[in-house]
């Protein structure tokens, strides 16, 4: 037990510089490897600089469309052959798209790592975008967008981004709109891949029953020869302007029994010095237990919401600090008033020592759970590399969380949360 009264983490069991191998390949790829002798499997994860921020405005969703079709066939293998290979190994592999990066992840037995990396290299470097498959994927994407249009939570969230990040690259939805997905042609996918897929600031993480030297050898065989002279410089997003006053917008969706609310402000980027004070503050405000102070006040005591919680979403650029709630349409104004008052109270004075201690204990106690699997460690390593947190981050974590004070939380809250300058987005009847 430490001086705060909760159990300390065992530093020897945590990943760190002593057992994480980090290598920069000549073509710009960074490889991170962490062996785990207590398993027979391996997990891989990674990203490259081909996220939705690179979408042309008239073809929003192009990056996401591209990642959705990478595994539909390559110069070497058909769609069916790719999945037959994975199935025969009992392995998995998938791709995804975020704002800044296109991601990938998978797992297999350690003996099949070479084959898994070979498939990964093939789908990233030589996809052929077969037209028949493209149209099937387009149909799926359009169906998803149709569903989004009728989803009060999704539309409230999208409206929040449009208010909070007006004029900023984060304003646009990564999955685009019906008209932009409809406008995308096969050659757009081909050209996006040719331009943006390459090794510049790409990261690969391998965790599991693997020797770091052997992992490096396999990655070099599959990826070191990959170059792309067309690949542009990595996008650096600007800060987002804070609102000068509260802006409220409503998106009408007829015949809905629930209205969803998202309100909040621009928050800190992930590598900001006050990120952890803000994160613990957010937990106290609307996460811990029955969704913190927000849940206690709006949902439990007042009975105004089906759910109510706060979120701190971080990114390479400016994140967001928001509150979400689902309410009866007739209770929207009452819920907004009560949420705003909770935010006002939160920035008026420091959190209690008991609230802080409970949340510090929770943050430290649940931390090892994220590192129980190879996939969890791979994801964590990917995050520390993306945000340049340092290979000793895991070992510093408990100390960072334990050192946070009520005054630091109050300072962060007052820096970001302003109850008189909120973005308020609602969607429903």
Whether 184 is covered by a domain: the verdict is yes
Q: Is 270 in the same domain as 307?
A: yes
Whether 312 is covered by a domain: the verdict is yes
Q: Are 251 and 426 contacting, i.e. CB atoms less than 8 angstroms apart?
A: yes
Please give the pLDDT value at position 290: 85
DSSP symbols for 4-59: TSSPPP-GGGS--TTT-EEEE-TTS-EEEEEE-TT-SEEEEEEEES--GGGS-GGG
Last residue of a domain, one of 223, 258, 289: 223
Last residue of a domain, one of 156, 191, 223: 223
Whether 2 is covered by a domain: the verdict is no
Q: Is 319 in the same domain as 218?
A: no
For residue 3, is pLDDT > 70?
no
Report the CATH number that the domain containing residue 175 is assigned in CATH.
3.30.830.10
Buried b / exposed e along 273-293 (16+ C-beta atoms within 10 A):
ebbbbbbbbbbbbbbbeebbb
Instruction: Please give the residue range of the domain that contains residue 19.
Output: 11-223
Q: Is 197 in the same domain as 305?
A: no
pLDDT digits (tens, 9 = 90+) for 329-383: 999 999 999 999 999 999 999 999 999 999 999 999 998 888 999 999 999 999 9
pLDDT digits (tens, 9 = 90+) for 279-337: 999 999 999 988 999 999 999 999 999 999 999 999 999 999 999 999 999 999 999 99
Q: Is 180 in the same domain as 306?
A: no
pLDDT digits (tens, 9 = 90+) for 90-133: 999 999 999 999 999 999 999 999 999 999 999 999 999 999 99
> What's the CA gap between 378 and 20, in Å, rounded?
11
Whether 201 is covered by a domain: the verdict is yes
Q: How many domains, in total, are found in the chain?
A: 2
Whether 242 is covered by a domain: the verdict is no
Q: Is 209 in the same domain as 280?
A: no
Please give the pLDDT value at position 12: 73
Q: What totals of helices (H) and strands (E) does the chain contain, helices first?
A: 15, 11
For residue 5, is pLDDT > 60?
no
Q: 3-class SS at 73? A: strand
Whether 359 is covered by a domain: the verdict is yes
DSSP symbols for 336-403: HHHHHHHHHHHHHSPPPHHHHHHHHHHHHHHGGGGGSSHHHHHHHHHHHHHTT--TTHHHHHHHHHHT
Q: What are phi and psi of 312, to 5 degrees?
A: -115, 110
Q: Are 74 and 128 contacting, i.e. CB atoms less than 8 angstroms apart?
A: yes
Measure CA 284 to chain center. Answer: 22
């Amino acid at each position: 037990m430490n001086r705060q009264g909760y159990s300390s983490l065992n530093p020897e069991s945590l990943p760190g510089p002593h057992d994480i191998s980090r290598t920069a390949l000549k073509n710009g790829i960074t490889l991170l490897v962490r062996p785990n002798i207590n398993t027979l499997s391996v997990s891989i994860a990674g990203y490259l600089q081909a996220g939705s921020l690179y979408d042309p405005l008239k073809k929003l969703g192009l990056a996401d469309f591209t990642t959705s079709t990478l595994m539909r066939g390559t110069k070497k293998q058909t769609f069916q052959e790719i999945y037959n290979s994975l199935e025969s190994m009992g392995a998995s592999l998938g791709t995804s798209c975020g704002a800044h990066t296109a991601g990938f992840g998978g797992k297999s037995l350690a003996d099949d790592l070479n084959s898994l990396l070979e498939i990964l290299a093939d789908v990233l470097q030589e996809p052929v975008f077969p037209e028949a498959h493209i149209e099937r994927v387009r149909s799926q994407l359009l169906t998803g967008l149709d569903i989004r249009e009728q989803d009060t939570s999704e539309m409230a969230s999208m409206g929040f981004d449009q208010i909070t990040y007006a004029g900023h690259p984060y304003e646009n939805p990564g999955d685009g709109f019906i008209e932009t997905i409809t406008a995308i042609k096969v050659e757009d996918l081909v050209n996006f891949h040719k331009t943006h897929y390459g090794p510049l600031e790409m990261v690969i993480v391998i965790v599991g029953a693997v020797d770091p030297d052997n992992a490096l050898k396999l990655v070099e065989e599959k990826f070191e020869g990959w170059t792309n002279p067309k690949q542009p410089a990595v996008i650096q997003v600007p800060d987002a302007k804070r609102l000068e006053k509260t802006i409220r917008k409503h998106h009408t969706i007829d015949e809905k029994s629930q209205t969803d609310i998202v309100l909040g402000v621009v928050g800190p980027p992930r590598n900001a010095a006050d990120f952890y004070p803000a994160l613990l503050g957010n937990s106290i405000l609307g996460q811990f237990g029955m969704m913190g102070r927000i849940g206690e006040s709006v949902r439990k005591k007042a009975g105004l919401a089906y759910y109510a919680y706060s979120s701190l979403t971080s990114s390479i650029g400016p994140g967001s600090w928001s509150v979400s709630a689902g309410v009866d349409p007739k209770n929207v104004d009452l819920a907004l008033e009560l949420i705003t008052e909770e935010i006002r109270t939160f920035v008026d004075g420091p959190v209690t020592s008991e609230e802080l201690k409970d949340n510090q204990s929770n943050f430290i106690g649940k931390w090892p759970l994220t590192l129980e699997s190879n996939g969890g460690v791979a994801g964590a390593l990917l995050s520390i590399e993306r945000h340049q947190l340092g290979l000793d981050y895991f070992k510093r974590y408990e100390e960072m969380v334990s050192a946070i004070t009520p005054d630091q939380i109050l300072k962060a809250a007052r820096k970001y949360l302003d109850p008189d300058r909120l973005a308020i987005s609602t969607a429903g009847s």
